[in-house]
Structure 1
Amino acid sequence: MTTQPGDAIPVTVPAPHDLITSWPEQPQQLFLLFHGAGQKPSDMLDMAQRLSRQFPQGVVACVAAPHAYDEGEGFQWYSHRGESDENRPERLLPARLELSATVRAWQRHTGLGPERTALLCFAQSATVALEAVAAEQDLAARLFAVAGRFDRLPEQMHQHTCIHWMHGKDDEVMPYQAAVEAGYRLRDLDADFSVDVFPETGHCVTEEMEQRIFHLLANHVPLRLWRQAMAEAGQPDTPPPSSLH
């Protein structure tokens, strides 16, 4: 059996603070929602309930970050206290491994693999998840990252995960330029991605963002499948519409 990053990290599924909005008898999809630092799974509950209605064959769960927030109530993947560009990588690595272990534990528990898994992440969780899918090509088929960032822009990126990045242009916690810079890098790396910057939007998940997420879930064709279909049809390798908005 292949050893995966984070396999030695114990994960309980579901954990005591996790919220599950649907778990059908024969699930076909796995949707895991991860909140921001200082938040709780209940902060993602509205979107989870909407996902449950839209995808009745899916397991939908709001997952708690594993550590108590050190500035008050809620949970976190790592501490922002004293965070700097120099020490962020050493905080992100264990957080990335914990998130990967959490996702894989849910996959084992539900019997649903990476190809049936979508991650919906906000803020700190989005940052950790971006690092995770950049490092592991078999973690999830889709990542919806809202108000996150790469610690350092990746040097390479696979096409096994569709990255859908959303950011508010008025975000004062995580400036939107992080999304734009990452978009240009991902384009240069021939990654499967989209970047949407929302005007007059701060550090939050809005109704407009949720609408975009549901549109992409229903309509986005993974780049590798697009190219495979074009090749089988004898068509030139014409790229899909622009991924930067």
Structure 2
Amino acid sequence: MTVLQNSLLVILLHGVGSNGADLAPLGESWKARLPNAVFVSPNAPERSSFGAGYQWFSVAGVTEENRPARITAARPAFDTVISDIIEENGFDGHLDRVVLVGFSQGTIMSLDAIASGRWPVAAVVGFSGRLATEHPIKPSAETRVLLVHGTSDPVIPSWETEKAETELKAAGVSVETVIEPGLGHTISIGGADRAADFLETIAGKQARPTA
């Protein structure tokens, strides 16, 4: 299968208790600016521990101490979801054209995917998340990252994004951060637009025919 010039596979990863359909409109809003991109918004593999939606890992009784182990345990199921999407859409062997976009727990898993070295994708866009991967981290320096977070987030504080930026930059990753004053645990129109700008840059960087 031929991967089109300027094409990207953008995989949108929702937060805990949500589902793929909730995040899919974000991809729809980017289509006009990224006409050659493929957008996929899957459900996480587990039903939520709290009875509604899905989860990448359980947050029931989660603590700073046990969160990294839960993320590690969630990797096989996460990797299966990502691998299947890449194969189904003809991007095998083209991780340089794959982008992970996460919200909240989806950001946690996206950042773990690159920080662990398992998925050296073109880029990650993370909204309202944190880096909670066990150290040492070993991301690819080729992956670019955009992190967006609101200062009034009551679920995950915005300093978690600043901490992630520091740790990823120390590991050699190019990171851009947008901290939005007064924004809660959500994706703003401005944040979505900034992400679209970023994705256009990623698409342009990869603008070469690939067989």
TM > 0.5 between the two? Answer: yes
Q: 1:180 aligns to what?
A: 162
- After superposition, what is the alpha-carbon deviation per residue over 1:37-72, rounded to whole angstroms, capped at 9, x for unaligned? 011212112212122332222221111111111112
| Contact kept in structure 1, 2:117 and 2:139, CA below 8 Å | no
CA deviations 1:56-101 (Å, max 9, x no partner) are: 2222111111111111211001111111122212211122332223
Structure with more contact order per residue of length (Cα contacts < 8 Å, sep ≥ 6):
2
Partner of 1:122: 103
| TM-score where L is the length of structure 1 | 0.74
Contact 2:116 2:133 in 1 (8 A): no
User: 1:135-154 residue pairs with structure 2 within 5 A?
Assistant: 135-136=116-117, 138-152=119-133, 154=135
Over 3 Å counting, the alpha-carbon distance change for 1:26 and 1:150 in structure 2 is: closer
Deviation digits for residues 117-176 of structure 1 (CA, Å, limit 9, x no counterpart): 111110011101111111126442110011111115754432121111111111110001
What is the identity, as a one-letter code, of the residue corresponding to 1:125?
Answer: G
| CA–CA separation in structure 1 for the residues paired with 2:203 and 2:135 | 23
> Comparing 135-144 with 150-159, which one deviates more in the overlay?
150-159
* Largest Rg, 1 or 2: 1
The 3 A distance-change label for structure 1 pair 153 and 208 is farther
The 1:193–1:97 alpha-carbon spacing in structure 2 relative to 1, beyond 3 Å, is farther
Q: 2:198 maps to what in 1?
A: 216
Do the aligned partners of 1:100 and 1:139 also contact (CA within 8 Å) in 2?
no
Number of aligned pairs? 200
Percent of aligned pairs sharing the same letter:
23
Query: Which residue in 2 is equivalent to 1:100?
Result: 79
After TM superposition, the structure 1 stretch with the greater mean CA deviation from structure 2, 76-85 or 42-51, is 42-51
Q: 1:83 aligns with which of 49, 56, 62?
A: 62
Structure 1 contact 45–62 (Cα < 8 Å) conserved: yes
Call closer, same or farther: CA 1:96–1:121 in 2, change over 3 Å.
Answer: same
Cα displacement (A) at 1:221: 9.2
- Counterpart residue identity of residue 207, structure 1: I
Q: State whether residues 137 and 160 of structure 1, in contact with CA within 8 Å, keep that contact through their aligned partners in structure 2.
A: no
Instruction: State the Cα distance separating 1:189 from its structure 2 match.
Output: 2.8
Q: What letter matches 2:49 in structure 1? A: D
| 1:129–1:26 distance in 2 versus 1, CA, 3 Å | closer
1:171-210 correspondence runs (5 A): 171-210=153-192
User: Per-residue deviation at 1:199?
Assistant: 0.5
Question: Which of 56, 59, 72 is the equivalent residue of 2:38?
Answer: 59
Instruction: Determine whether 1:159 maps to 2:141.
Output: yes
1:103–1:139 CA contact under 8 A, matched in 2: no
Q: CA RMSD in A?
A: 2.4
The one-letter code sitting in structure 1 at the alignment partner of 2:196 is F
The one of 151, 154, 157 equivalent to 1:169 is: 151
Structure 1: unaligned runs, 5 residues or longer:
1-24, 226-245
Question: Which blocks of at least 5 consecutive residues in structure 2 are unaligned?
Answer: 207-211
Runs of 4 or more off by more than 6 Å in structure 1? none
**Counterpart residue number, 2:26:** 47
TM-score, scaled relative to structure 2 = 0.85
Partner SS state of residue 31, structure 2: helix
